[in-house]
């Protein structure tokens, strides 16, 4: 019973989060995203590892949470934009992207399963992916790393439980 509840929470959480995200004005989202991104990538920024984004536009879309933004480099910092034509888009669902961030899912595997989409300038997309792959979990700020890992553990367990339940239902006669 608790396992089914866990699986249901994981499945419905993005939908539930989608409403407050949709109602939050973009300037508030922009401020939060810029602070989070610059905090997360502070070492990569200091080392110049993200300089290739100068004048380039990277779009991120988390469809099931209604969250979409464009990131670029401006004055040595990551900036978030709302309306621009992105050179490349990364699109996925919240739970999958959470697992990628916690290193619990391989982005290539999700791409081939069509759970992660990279559209547009594939060379730029590959550069972004390589930088993301190179960042060690230990380089993340401790509070952020802990939060991501705990949420990913919860999501992963719920997704596995949901998959088991779906397999059990598949064997039931109509």
Provide the token pair at 110: 């999700």
Global pTM exceeds 0.75: yes
Residue 170 clears pLDDT 60, i.e. is over it? no
Residues 19-74: pLDDT tens digits?
Answer: 999 999 999 999 999 999 999 899 899 999 999 999 999 999 999 999 999 999 99
Cα–Cα distance between 80 and 69 in angstroms, integer? 7
Residue 6 clears pLDDT 90, i.e. is over it? no
Q: What pLDDT is stored for residue 159 in this prediction? A: 85
DSSP output for 22-69: HHS-HHHHHHHHHHHHHHHTHHHHHTTTTGGGBT--EEEEEGGGTEEE
**Which H/E stretch holds residue 143?**
helix 142-170
Residue 174 clears pLDDT 60, i.e. is over it? no
Q: What pLDDT is stored for residue 65 in this prediction? A: 94
3-7 long-range contacts (CB < 8 A, ≥24 apart) are 3/161, 4/161, 4/165, 6/154, 6/157, 6/158, 6/161, 7/158, 7/159, 7/161, 7/162, 7/165
Residues 148-163: pLDDT tens digits?
Answer: 899 999 999 888 876 6
Cα–Cα distance between 35 and 78 in angstroms, integer? 9
Q: What pLDDT is stored for residue 145 in this prediction? A: 87
Closest CA to 97 of 146, 52, 155: 155
Structural domains of the chain ordered from first start: 26-164 (3.30.1050.10)
Cα–Cα distance between 38 and 141 in angstroms, integer? 11
Average the pLDDT over each of 8-12, 41-45, 108-112, 164-168 and give the range with the smallest value.
Answer: 164-168
Q: Mean of the pLDDT values across residues 103-107?
A: 90
Cα–Cα distance between 162 and 51 in angstroms, integer? 41
């Amino acid at each position: 019973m608790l396992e089914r509840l866990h699986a249901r929470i994981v499945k419905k959480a993005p939908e539930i989060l989608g409403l407050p995200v949709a109602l939050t004005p973009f300037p508030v989202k922009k401020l939060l995203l810029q602070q989070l991104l610059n905090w997360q990538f502070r070492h990569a920024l200091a080392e110049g590892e993200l300089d290739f984004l100068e004048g380039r536009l990277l779009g991120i879309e988390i469809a099931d949470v209604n969250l979409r933004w464009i990131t670029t480099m401006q004055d040595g910092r990551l900036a978030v934009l709302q309306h621009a034509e992105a050179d490349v888009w990364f699109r996925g669902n919240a739970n999958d992207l959470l697992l990628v961030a916690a290193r619990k899912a391989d982005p290539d595997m999700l791409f081939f399963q069509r759970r992660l989409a990279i559209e547009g300038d594939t060379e730029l997309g590959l550069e972004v992916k390589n930088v993301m792959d190179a960042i060690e979990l230990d380089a993340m700020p401790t509070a952020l790393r802990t939060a991501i890992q705990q949420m990913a553990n919860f999501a992963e367990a719920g997704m596995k439980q949901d998959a088991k339940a779906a397999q059990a239902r598949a064997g039931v006669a109509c």
